[in-house]
Amino acid sequence: MKLKDKLRDLSAHKTGLLATNYYNLETLHGVLRAAQQTGDPIILQLTQSSIDYMGLNTAVAMGREGLKQFGVEGWIHLDHGGSVELAQRCLDAGFDSVMIDGSELPFSENVKITQEVVQRAKSYGAHVEAELGFVAKLGQSHAHNGFTQPHEAKQFVEETGVDALAISIGTAHGFYKEEPKLQIDLLKSIEAEVASATFVLHGSSGVPESQLRAAIQYGICKVNLATEIKNIFMKTLQDILTQNEEIDLRKVFPKATNAVTELVKGKLDIVNNR
């Protein structure tokens, strides 16, 4: 099934689709084992830094083979693509979906760059995500609240024809210094204005379960998870390495991979309204 159709179907049933970043074979397998055990579909995401680290063709091949190996329904997505050129490379490499992130550009420039990617993606049958509003990235202040405005979201989607829109309703990338408070009423207003796109929540790491469930009930369909995956993998690995002198990574990494699996299983339960 095409990703656009899947998101539409899930949104109608007030459930979501978890989108997980992967950084190496171990985090990929940790994510896929969770989806295999729960029987849920999943989106596998790659950022430019992960593509640079693993190599574009290697990263995509790992994702495709992993989905096949674990028997999981899934899609490969470019997360936070910063240029038309990167989006094009990913489309050529067979990505099912690409994000073009012009959220820090003026509105008109964000529209223009998104229109370009939407047009290019058509011949590939690929899904396109964009972002409107300010969702703080790693290293940026969380104090700036550039929430997505309903009328702007409506205009943006109508002018670009984008399939999915990442919106700012109170989340940020990375960990939070204090508990976030999602603007659910704002989400309801955005959903009432925009009928032709599904909605994406970036920065879900650290958002309380009750707020994630509420966001999904009122319009969020795709939920991104990245920081918690990196954190639990590395923290588990660090704990293991301080307790033994094992040099065989094949014996050390599985425990960290299992920690990723347990984390993702819990998130899948939330996103799928269980």
pLDDT tens by residue, 95-110: 999 999 999 999 999 9
Six token digits for residue 103: 């959220």
Please list the active-site residues.
Answer: 79
Q: Residue 178 pLDDT > 80, yes or no?
A: no
Type of residue at 53: Y
- Burial profile 132-161: b = 16 or more Cβ within 10 angstroms, e = fewer: bbbbbeeeeebeeeebbbbeebbbbbeebe
CATH number of 3-271: 3.20.20.70
Are 74 and 41 in contact by the 8 Å Cβ rule? The answer is: yes
Which residues define the annotated binding site for dihydroxyacetone phosphate? 174, 203-205, 224-227
Distance CA 143, CA 249 (A): 41
The answer to which of 15-24, 56-65, 74-83, 129-138 has the lowest mean pLDDT is 129-138
Which residues define the annotated binding site for Zn(2+)? 80, 101, 131, 173, 202
Instruction: Quote the percentage of the chain above a pLDDT of 90.
Output: 78
Give the DSSP per-residue string, 247-262.
--HHHHHHHHHHHHHH
Which residues define the annotated binding site? 80, 101, 131, 173-174, 202-205, 224-227
